[in-house]
Amino acid sequence: MAFSSDNSFSRPTCAQIDLAALRHNLRRCRELVSGTGIRLLAVVKANAYGHGAVPIAQELARFGVDCFGISLVEEGVELRQAGIQGDIVVLGGAWSDDDEIVANALTPLVFSRDQLVRLDAAAARAGSVVRVHLKLDTGMSRIGITLAELPDFLTALSAARRVHVEGLASHLANSECLEHPQNAEQLALFRQARAVLKAAGHDPRWCHIANSGALLQLGEARDGADFNLVRPGIMLYGEAPSLELSEVSGLRAVLSWRTSITHLKTIEEGQPVSYGGRWTAPRRSRIATLPVGYADGYNRRFGNVAEVLIRGQRAPVVGTVCMDMCMVDVTRIDGVSLRDEAVLLGCQGEQEITARELAERIGTISYEILTSVGARVPRVVVDSDESQTPRSRDE
């Protein structure tokens, strides 16, 4: 994925990444744990939720973040090759890349005997020790060791002489809902498991369960005692995990998605637009074509549902979104011309289209909207606190 210093692309479509907004959200995370001694693990998996893992991690590191969370080993290798020196925790676990984990000083989550055996052997081949975080399943039923399985796992761990348990982790299933009873159940199971570990002679340095939702509202999951590390993900990029939390989060969107009009035409009443004729002009209409489609991550379901911003006004997306193009009705907007900017996601004038809005239009979540912005959409890094001139970064 290319990061460019200008807008001289073969088509006028890019995603702008605002580092000033990223720093603002980082400050908000730090405010929530101020005075607790809690460490931040910045989650930059999935290409930093579609924002570009390398420039995001580099900027966070520049402002003191020294621990990063990714999902895949190759994501961690990419960060190392880009010069990231802090801890990199492989939140998705480790499957068969054990030598790369050791060679790049990555810290995987572990939750099976097989992982222990393979990591121990890889560390022996390298003449080193591999640091790991033990993953507990306290209620997600996804990956992790249950409390009942923990004693047998600890027996296997005792034979893995080159594996050092540096952290203990789990994941909340309902952190965005403060009153959900499963939150208390998961916290209690975590504390029980930690007690079992201590009794077996293991005292992990880092204990963590708080994602963005818990960081924003669940103080018990970031108390600085039982839990001394938090994992902000979506909130770093300016989105809260739920509508209720967005009202108190104080976050700024980092990504805006922009293109411009490449074709304009007038069609008559009754004329269908795009595949299947799913929209028909209700009157003589002015239709603008935008050079972006579902191959770029602009969801096909946005047809007849979403809006874009043109000249500071909302224009509905009409007809089926195509692979490389979509059409919008600009009949009610005065003065529209070729090359006018169209904002798919972000602000223009006093209007804003958020990832949450787009998600609600098609029945999904903002995470999916952001991570779906495709690799062929250039990311242009800007810093609105310093200059509107894009900064050059290469991933």
| Average predicted confidence (pLDDT) for the chain | 94
Task: Provide the whole-model pTM.
Answer: 0.93
Domains 19-249 and 255-353 share a fold: no
Q: Does position 345 have pLDDT exceeding 90, yes or no?
A: yes
Percent of the chain surpassing pLDDT 90:
89
The confidence score (pLDDT) of residue 191 equals 97
Q: Which fold has domain 255-353?
A: Lyase, Ornithine Decarboxylase; Chain A, domain 1 (2.40.37)
Q: Does position 346 have pLDDT exceeding 90, yes or no?
A: yes
Q: What is the pLDDT of residues 224-253, one digit of tens each?
A: 999 999 999 999 999 999 888 887 789 999
The confidence score (pLDDT) of residue 249 equals 80
Annotated catalytic residue, options 45, 49, 237, 294: 45
Q: Does position 392 have pLDDT exceeding 50, yes or no?
A: no
Question: Structural domain boundaries of the chain?
Answer: 19-249, 255-353
Q: Does position 33 have pLDDT exceeding 50, yes or no?
A: yes
CA 267/CA 279 separation, integer angstroms = 12
CA 277/CA 274 separation, integer angstroms = 6
Query: pLDDT-derived band of residue 347, with 50, 70 and 90 as boundaries?
Result: very high
Rounded-to-10 torsion of CA 294, 295, 297, 301: 20
Annotated catalytic residue, options 198, 275, 294, 367: 275
Query: pLDDT-derived band of residue 193, with 50, 70 and 90 as boundaries?
Result: very high
The confidence score (pLDDT) of residue 95 equals 79
CA 222/CA 214 separation, integer angstroms = 8
The confidence score (pLDDT) of residue 242 equals 87
E-strand ranges in 157-246 read 163-169, 206-208, 229-230
The confidence score (pLDDT) of residue 107 equals 98
Has 45 been annotated as catalytic?
A: yes
Q: What Cα–Cα distance (Å) separates residue 341 from each residue in 43, 289, 311, 336, 344?
A: 32, 12, 7, 10, 10
Give the residue-averaged pLDDT of 152-178.
95
Q: Does position 8 have pLDDT exceeding 60, yes or no?
A: no
The confidence score (pLDDT) of residue 35 equals 87
The confidence score (pLDDT) of residue 112 equals 94
| Beta carbons of 3 and 55 less than 8 angstroms apart | yes
The confidence score (pLDDT) of residue 10 equals 83
| Beta carbons of 309 and 348 less than 8 angstroms apart | yes
Q: What is the pLDDT of residues 14-23, one digit of tens each?
A: 999 999 999 9
Q: Which fold has domain 19-249?
A: TIM Barrel (3.20.20)
